[in-house]
Amino acid sequence: MNLSSTTEQMARDIVDAHRATLALPVAAGAEPATSASDDPVFTAALQACHALGFIPADALCVARAWATRSRRTGQFDPTAWPDEPADFHIAPHPRERAYAPCPRAIGLYAVMPDAAWTVRMARAGVPTVQLRFKSGDARVISAEVRAAVEGVRGTGACLYINDHWEAAIEADAHGVHLGQEDLQAMTPEGLAAIRDAGLRLGLSTHGYAEMLIAERHSPSYIAMGAVYPTTLKQMATAPQGTGRLRVYARLLRDVQHMAIGGIDLRNLPEVLAAGVRNVGVVRALMAADDLEAAVAKWTAALATGGPGATPG
């Protein structure tokens, strides 16, 4: 490999090439990831990712992929951000023991706090809905999940249950959605039970490290976020922006994926321009004066990415 630049210059070249699209502020007190590697490409990419505001776990993923690609191609190109699944050691598809695939494109995905809101969204024409119901009472959870399953039946909507996987299996929901903490808390037996029951599995991610963890489980879809600031949930990571969303989507091109977090009709064209056609929405739908009209406008905007994506 012909590397005519110093490691420091290589890092600067990466930052200069991608600052406009991928940079986020470096968190106060953030320490760069460290490694004893003598690979100059790996070291340069690691330094660059820190300067671009990637958290250490994500920086390590990108640096490893950059080094792998440079060895594979025999050259270092600072302008080409890694996006080949094989360079991130993502196994090819299809796979044995994968979760059931989504029967169609996810499209508009409404995440709702209770069964009543979930059913209302399904009846208004939202194609994919999620019940994100919080309670510590198993009987209340079971009743809420069953109410959502029964209420959505016949609407054509696909219903995912957030976290409460046992109740989802018992009620014969379409699928289960797990956040990263929920996924880490799951046992192999629990994950197998979801798959063996034929339920779909969706997983939340907030950057490269979590995306690679999620992808290894061969889920039905992967949610990427938060794209924009949101007040509905305290996020451990900064909003990722559409520049990062674009490279995430390219990496996950062989996996059904969606974007979520602060998306509304004003910024939807930016999400669509990043190459994502499935979006999760909470506030923008719950606040609609005319829900059916709002769903129709979202559906048209997702289908065209054109003028229908601007609010009336």
For 199-255, the pLDDT digits (tens) are 999 999 999 999 999 999 999 999 999 999 987 666 667 899 999 999 999 999 999
Q: What is the bridge-based pairing of β-strands 128-131 and 158-162?
A: parallel
Least confident of 35-39, 52-56, 231-235: 231-235
**Percent over 90 (pLDDT), the chain:** 88
- What is the structure's pLDDT at 234? 61
Domain CATH code at residue 270 = 3.20.20.70
In this structure, are 169 and 37 located in the same domain?
no
Q: Select from 47, 82, 117 the last residue of a domain.
A: 82
Residues 6+ apart with CB under 8 A from 226: 206, 233, 235, 237, 239, 240, 260, 261, 262
Instruction: Return the minimum-mean-pLDDT range out of 110-119, 147-156, 209-218, 298-307.
Output: 298-307
Cα angle: 112, vertex 204, 141; to 5 degrees? 45
Would you state the pLDDT for residue 306?
45
* pLDDT recorded at residue 80: 97
> 36, 67, 82 — which closes off a domain?
82
149 shares its domain with 287? yes
pLDDT value at residue 233: 61
Q: What is the pLDDT of residue 311?
A: 33
**Mean pLDDT in residue range 164-178:** 98
**Which helix (H) or strand (E) element contains residue 122?**
helix 115-123
Distance separating alpha carbons of residues 278 and 298, to the nearest angstrom: 11
Tens-place pLDDT, residues 121-144: 999 999 999 999 999 999 999 999
88 assigned to some structural domain? no
Whether 171 has a pLDDT exceeding 50, the answer reads yes
Q: How far apart are CA 193 and CA 152, in angstroms?
A: 23
Q: Can you tell me the distance from the alpha carbon of 39 to that of 17, in angstroms, rounded to the nearest whole number?
A: 21
Confidence of residue 28 (pLDDT cuts 50, 70, 90): confident
- Counted domains in the chain: 2
- What is the model's pTM? 0.93
What string of DSSP letters covers 201-243? EEEEESSHHHHHHHHHT--SEEEE---S--SSS--SS---HHH
Spatial distance between the Cα atoms of 158 and 186, rounded to a whole number of angstroms: 23
Domain residue limits at 250: 108-306
* Whether 252 and 129 share a structural domain: yes
CA distance linking residue 102 with residue 105, whole number of Å: 7
Instruction: Give me the pLDDT at residue 35, please.
Output: 77
Indicate whether 282 pLDDT > 60: yes
How many H helices and E strands in the chain?
A: 13, 8
